[in-house]
Amino acid sequence: MNQPPDTHKIPISEPWTLAVEGGGTGSRFGYYTPEGTLAAEWEGPPANSAAYGAGAPVDAALQASEMLEIGPRPLHVLAGIAGLATQRQRVQTARALRDALSARLVVATTDLHPLLLAASGPGDGVLAIAGTGSAILARNRWGRILRAGGRGPLLGDEGSAWRMAAEALRAACAWQDGTGPETVLSEKLLGALGVRWVDELVEWAATADKRTVAALASIVTACAESGDFVARGIVEDQARRLAALAVSAAEKLGLEDGVRCFTHGGVFRHSVLFLEAFQDNVRQYLDMQFMACPLTGHRAVFEALREVEKETPWAAVIRDEDAADRADAPMVMPGPLPPTEQHRPEIPLDELTPLELVRRMNRLDHAVAPAVARQEDALARLVERAANAIRSGHRIIYAGAGTSGRLAALDAAECPPTFGVPADRVVALMAGGEQAFIRSVENAEDDPSAGRADLEALRPDPGDVVIGIAASGTTPYVRGVLEQARELGLFTALLTSNPNPGIAADLVVCLDTGPEALPGSTRLKAGTAAKMALNIISTGAMTLAGYVYRGRMVRVVPSNEKLRQRAVRIVAELCATDPKTARTTLEHSG
C-alpha cells in the first residue's frame, strides 16, 4: 500500500477522490489528488452488496477512509460495486456513502461499467467477464449500454468458474450413477475436497458457497488441458455459452466486425483453452478484436466515472445539498459523540433478515483486529511496564465500569490459574462493586469519587501500574481512578475506543473500532477490541516476567483433571521424558 499523503503539505480547497472497486472477495481503494494523481491505495474487505448486504460498501469505505487517513477534506467518491443490479440499489448505496464519508459527490454503479468505459472510451466495445461469476457488457458509440448474463448461479453465470465447477461435479456424479462417461474429474475433485465417495459430496454441497465451488474450476481446466474429454467438453461448452451472450449483445446494439472485445477475469487469464474456445465461437458470427482490459481496479473506476456529473441509466449520482453552505466554514470531523455512540448510515438493524443481521455483525467485527494492530507500539510499551510491575513484586490494577469492568475482571480472574501468579497481583476495580460483575449497576459509573476511594482502599504504591478501560473515553468512575493514581505517582494507561478521550493518562491506547452495529452497545466491537488488548497485556506481562518457559505456561495451577493432564504434558515435553515419569515426578514434588 502507498503511504497516506502528508495532509499538512497538500491544499484541501479542491475535492480529492476516493475510487473503489468493490467485489465479492475484496475491494480496492485509490485516493486521488484533484489533479488525478494516485496518492495512496488500500485493499480491504468485500463490498458486494448482493452477497454481504447493503451495508457492505459503507463498511469497507469507512475502513478505507481511516486507513488512507482521508480526514475532513472535501471528497468525491466514485464507486464500482458488485451487486448493484438496480438503480434503486445504486441510489441507496450512493446516499449511504455520502452520509458516511461526508462526501460532496458520489457516483455509484456496478463493477462492470467502469471496466468497459475505461477500456472503450467513447467508441464501441464489448466486455466479457469470466471469473467466479460471469457477465457480458456491450456499448455502442451512441452510449447505449446493454448487459447479458451475470445474474448469479441460479439464473445465469454461463462461462463462469462456478458454472464450470458445478458441471464437473455433476459429471462426476453421473459417472458414479452409470449415466455418464468415465472421467478423471471424479478422482481429482474428490481428492481436492478430501472425500472418498461421491455421496460424501451431498453434505459438502449443502454448505458450499459460490467462491468455494468456483475454486474447483482450476481442476477442471487442468484436466481438460491434460486430455480428459469430459473436462474439455465442459470448458468448451461454457466458453461457447459466454460467446453466445457476447454475440447476442453485440448484435442487439448493431455492433459490426472489428469491434473490440475486452476480456477480464481469472478463467480467461488461467485457461488458454477457454480463451481460444471463446474467441473461436465469437468469430463464427463477428470478427472481434480481442484484448485484455487495459485498466482495472480503482484506476478503471476513477478514469471511467470522474467526468460523470448527472444520473444515467447505469449510474446513480448523489450530491451533498449542503456542501455549498459549508464551503467557507471550518471543516471538522462529524459529530461530537464518541464513535461508539454514533449512528451507522445504513439500513437499521431491526429491518434486516436474520442472515443479513448475522452477516453485518460478522462483517463489522472484521474492523476489530486492524484497530488493535494499529496500537501495537503502544501495547508493547504497556506490556513492558506491566511486566516490570509483576517482576518487581508490584501489581497490575484494572479499572472499569459496565462491559469494560467485567472484561477487566475476567482477565484478572484468569491470571492466577493460568500463570500461577498470586491472586492479589492482578486485580480489577469495578464501578458498583462485586455485585456489578453479574448484575448491571449502570449509575455507579457516574461517580469519580468512588473510583478514587476504591483505588485508595487497595493502598497502591508507585510500582503499581493502573489501567483504565473506558470504551467511550469519558467514564467518570475510571477518570477518578486514573486521576488518583496519577496524583500518587503511579504509571497510568487508558484503553478506549474514542480517538479524543476525556480522560488523561500517561499512555493512551486508542482501539478505534468506529460506530457499533447497535449505537452505544460497547459490548460489541469495542468490547471485543478491549478483550483482545487485555489478552495481550496480561499474557505479555506474565511471559516477560518469567511465568512462561519455552512457550509453555509452566506455573499453571493443576486444579482439575484437564489441568493435571496439561501439567504432565508440559513436564514430559520440556524434560523429554514419558508421561508416566512426568506424572510421578509432579506427584512427588507436590
Residues 430-442, mean pLDDT to the nearest whole number:
75
- pLDDT over 60 (residue 2): no
Please compute the mean of the pLDDT values over residues 187-215 and round it to a whole number.
84
CA distance 181 to 265: 30
The predicted structure's pLDDT at residue 138:
95
- The answer to whether 383 and 507 have CB atoms below 8 angstroms apart is no
Round to whole Å and give the CA distance between 48 and 355. Answer: 15
- H/E stretch holding 428 reads strand 426-430
DSSP β-bridge partners for residue 292: 263
Nearest to 281 by CA among 314, 313, 235, 317: 235
* Residue of 445, 456, 487, 561 with catalytic role: 445
Percentage of the chain exceeding pLDDT 90: 51
Please, is 519 exposed, middle or buried when counting C-beta atoms within 10 Å of its C-beta (0-12, 13-18, 19+)?
A: middle
* Better-scored residue on pLDDT, 240 or 320: 240
At 18 the pLDDT is 96
pLDDT on residue 4:
54
The whole-number pLDDT of residue 6 equals 54
Q: Is the pLDDT of residue 52 over 60?
A: yes
Least confident of 2-11, 219-228, 259-268: 2-11
- Over range 328-339, report the average pLDDT: 48
Mean pLDDT calculated for residue range 13-35: 90
Determine contact, residues 55/97, Cβ cutoff 8 Å. no
Is the pLDDT at 68 greater than 60, yes or no?
A: yes
CB 544 within 8 A of CB 391: yes
Q: Which residues pair with 263 in a beta bridge?
A: 128, 292
* Mean pLDDT rounded to a whole number for the chain: 87
C-alpha cell, 190? 474428490
Decide if pLDDT at 330 tops 60: no
The one-character DSSP state at 544 is I
pTM exceeds 0.85, yes or no: no
Is 182 catalytic? The answer is: no
Residue 302 pLDDT more than 80?
Answer: yes
- Predicted pLDDT of residue 333: 38
Measuring CA to CA, which residue among 136, 147, 125 is closest to residue 304? 125
**Does the annotation mark 445 as catalytic?**
yes
Backbone torsions φ then ψ of 253, nearest 5 degrees: -90, 0
Give CA–CA dist 19/74, Å, rounded.
14
- Name residue 81's amino acid: I
pLDDT band, very low/low/confident/very high, at 192 (cuts 50, 70, 90):
confident
Q: Is the pLDDT of residue 9 over 70?
A: no
494 and 507 in contact (C-beta within 8 Å)? Answer: yes
Q: Which one is predicted more confidently, 502 or 10?
A: 502
Cell of 548: 512462561
* pLDDT at residue 398, as a whole number: 97
Q: Is the pLDDT of residue 450 over 70?
A: yes
The residue written with cell numbers 477442471 in the block is 220
Report the chain's C-alpha Rg in angstroms.
30
pLDDT digits (tens, 9 = 90+) for 110-155: 999 999 999 998 889 999 999 888 999 999 988 899 999 888 778 8
Give CA–CA dist 138/144, Å, rounded: 8
For 91-119, the pLDDT digits (tens) are 989 988 888 888 999 999 999 999 999 99
Q: Is the pLDDT of residue 281 over 50?
A: yes
Q: What is the average pLDDT across 484-496?
A: 95
The set of long-range contacts for 573-579, using a CB threshold of 8 Å and a minimum separation of 24, is: 574/549, 574/550
Contact 287, 259 (CB under 8 A): no
The strand pair at 125-130 and 134-139 is best described as antiparallel
Q: Is 307 left (phi over 0), alpha (psi -120 to 50) or beta?
A: alpha
- Region of poorest pLDDT, from 13-27, 320-334, 402-416, 566-580: 320-334
Q: What is the pLDDT of residue 572?
A: 86
The Cβ-side half-sphere exposure at 501, using a 13 Å CA radius, reads 27
**Is 327's pLDDT higher than 70?**
no
pLDDT given for residue 7 in this prediction: 46
Q: Which of 233-247, 329-343, 361-375 has the lowest mean pLDDT?
A: 329-343
User: Tell me, what's the pLDDT at 363?
Assistant: 79
Q: pLDDT category, 336, cuts 50, 70, 90? A: low
The neighbouring-strand residues paired with 30 are 19, 41
Sign of CA dihedral 288, 289, 291, 293: negative
Cell numbers for 540, please give them.
505479555
Mean pLDDT of 344-368: 80
Whether residue 193 contacts residue 205, with contact meaning beta carbons closer than 8 Å, is answered with no
Confidence label for 346 from pLDDT (cuts 50, 70 and 90): low
Catalytic residue among 414, 434, 483, 516: 414
Cell of 539: 499474557
Instruction: Please tell me which of 328-332, 340-344, 485-489, 555-559 the model is most confident about, judged by mean pLDDT.
Output: 485-489
